[in-house]
Amino acid sequence: MRQSILSILAAAVAVTGASAADRLSSLAGSEWGFEQGRDTYIQFAENDVSGFSGCNRFRGSYTYAEGKLSFGPLASTRMACSPEQLEIERTILQLLEATKAAEATHKTLMLQDGTGAALATLNRRDFD
């Protein structure tokens, strides 16, 4: 269920090649889809984040400034799901926990670890 190295590298080139004018300074009001599961997403409000991680809904806080992105404690519902759904959820929650930075354009959000390595690339769901 993890992204292939080639897709991560392709996304890294696409986002890193974006001009400074294309990059978002705020994530508030945006919604992004994960590749890990068809209906999985994360939605950013002014200071809160919520979403669906494959089995359960989650909610918590986040900070995003000058390319640094971190998530506060996330709380989630506790539904019973299939092993496949639980694996998708585990992957997504681990990605969020490992995220320390991000590059966002109007259509793509690349989550990065503390070294700047790409963890996942999300696509904008609410952008026309």
* Domain ranges, ordered by start, for the chain: 5-124
pLDDT digits (tens, 9 = 90+) for 8-50: 334 444 444 555 657 889 999 999 999 877 799 999 999 899 9
**Torsion sign, CA atoms 53, 56, 59, 60:** negative
Domain 5-124: CATH architecture, name and number where available: Beta Barrel (2.40)
pLDDT digits (tens, 9 = 90+) for 69-92: 999 999 999 999 999 999 999 999
